[in-house]
Every structure is written in structure tokens, then in C-alpha cells.
Amino acid sequence: MLKIGLTGGIGSGKSTVASMLEEYKYTIIDADTVSREVLNKYSEILEKVRIQFGDNFFDWRGEFRRREFGNHVFRFPKERKKYESIIMPFIIKEINEKFEQLEKKGEHIVILDAPTLIENNLHEEMDMVILVWVDQSTQIQRIKSRDKLSQNEIINRINAQMSLDRKKDYANFIIDNGKNLIKTKEQIDDLVELLRLYEK
Ligand code: ATP
């Protein structure tokens, strides 16, 4: 089974590309969904969060204040790293289990959609890495109209990630999503052609 990592940067178009690939019936594992699933599945994650971050992120019933916590770790990169070191082993375990199950089911190709694929070294376990790249001014424009963030907030978020240009060094296939969706779809068609060679 071919394991493909799909990655990019904030607002570069990963979800757009993933839904185009879904139309071709590829099976996709969404790392963001997995990161929410593991919170429900492994209670030890929140136990560790409580020990390391304190009771403030839990309400009086003991419910996790997910949004407040998300804002907190987003604002302080060191805190985010601390949280990632707690949750990442669970996410990786879950992703590997999903790959194994899909391989047993007889899938030929499975795509892992993970924004921080490279930052978390998951690319090393993939047979192929696809990067959804976009030029920075288009990226800023798109985030601005989608998320209603200020220019500064957007630039901070872009700078908090590895740059899309650096990610190019890790990619086997680069989709330039800086133009219209028809142009992106054409590149997806080229990719699908390439993957069909593998399936034969
Ligand atoms: P994030 O990781 O931040 O959630 P993403 O990489 O999944 O983002 P998308 O949500 O797919 O990115 O795209 C960002 C925004 O840009 C969306 O509003 C989407 O509709 C728009 N968009 C994506 N690709 C194009 C394109 N080629 N032309 C015009 N708009 C686009």
C-alpha cells in the first residue's frame, strides 16, 4: 500500500485539494480529525494536560475548555510545543493504526492530510509527499477573506509554521494552488495519472 502525505501551510489549500482527491475515491486520513478523536479516546491526554497546564483550562464540571486552551497554545509557541509533546505520540499511534486497518482492507493508496507532516517528521514514514504550495501574497489574501484576521495576525500565523518554500525540499509532488481552481484541478489530474501507474 502506498502511503501519501499531503501537506501545506495555513490557507494554502490542503482541504481544497483533499476534497478534489476524494472525488477520485481516494481514502484520506485527516490528521486534524484524528487529533480531536484521540482526545475522546485516551483520557490520559487530558490528565497530562491538567497536570502540566493546571486546572484553569477545565470548567467546574471538569469539562475541558477546548477553545480557551486552543487560544492559549496558539499565542505561546513554547506552550504549543509542550502540548504537542503530550498529544503527538497518541496521534501518531492512531494514524498508524488507521493505515494498518486500511492496508488489511486491501487499499492500494491512502492519503494522510496533515498540516504539520514535516514538522512532526511524519514525512519520513510516507512513500510520497505532496505539497500544496501558494505564493505568500495570495495566501495572505485568502486567509484574510476566510478568517477575518488582521494582516499582522495572519503574518504571525504564517511565520509560526515552517515556510512553504522550505517544505518544497521535502516534496515529491508540488501543487501550485496560487491560481484558479481549474488550474489546480489540472494538476490534480496529472497527479492522478501518476498514481494510476502505481495501481496498475
Ligand atoms: P487551513 O490549514 O488553514 O485550514 P487549508 O490549507 O486547508 O487551510 P483551504 O481551506 O483549502 O486551505 O483554502 C483556504 C481558502 O482559500 C478557502 O477559503 C478556499 O476556499 C480558498 N481557496 C483555496 N484554493 C483556492 C483557489 N485555487 N482559488 C481561490 N480560492 C481558493
Residues within 6 Å of ligand 1 by CB: 8, 10-16, 115, 142, 146, 177, 180-181, 184
Half-sphere exposure of 191 (CA within 13 A, CB side): 26
**Residue 106 among known ligand-binding residues:** no
Segments in 5-117 forming alpha helices (H): 14-23, 31-41, 43-53, 66-75, 77-104
**Residue 21: which domain range?**
2-199
Among the listed residues 8, 32, 3, the one whose alpha carbon sits nearest the alpha carbon of residue 162: 8
Distance CA 20, CA 23 (A): 5
For ligand 1, the distance from its centroid to the CA atom of residue 199, given in whole angstroms, is 29
pLDDT, averaged across the chain: 94
Tell me what pLDDT residue 196 has: 92
Report the DSSP beta bridge partners of residue 132. 8, 175
Task: Please tell me whether 7 is known to bind a ligand.
Answer: no
* CATH number of residue 50's parent domain: 3.40.50.300
Length of the chain: 200
In the chain, the number of structural domains is 1
Q: Which helix (H) or strand (E) holds 168?
A: none
Annotation-wise, does 19 bind a ligand?
no
pTM for the whole structure: 0.92
pLDDT digits (tens, 9 = 90+) for 128-168: 999 999 999 999 999 999 998 889 889 988 988 899 999 99
* Residue having the nearest C-alpha atom to atom 9 of ligand 1: 13
Beta carbons of 40 and 50 less than 8 angstroms apart: no
Under the banding of pLDDT at 50, 70 and 90, the label for residue 70 is confident
* Residue 132 alpha carbon, nearest atom of ligand 1: 6
Helix (H) or strand (E) holding 129: strand 128-133
Q: How far is the CA of 44 from the centre of ligand 1 (A)?
A: 34
Task: Say whether 98 counts as a known binding-site residue.
Answer: no
The per-residue pLDDT for range 76-131, each reduced to its tens digit, is: 889 989 999 999 999 999 999 999 999 999 999 999 999 999 999 999 999 999 99
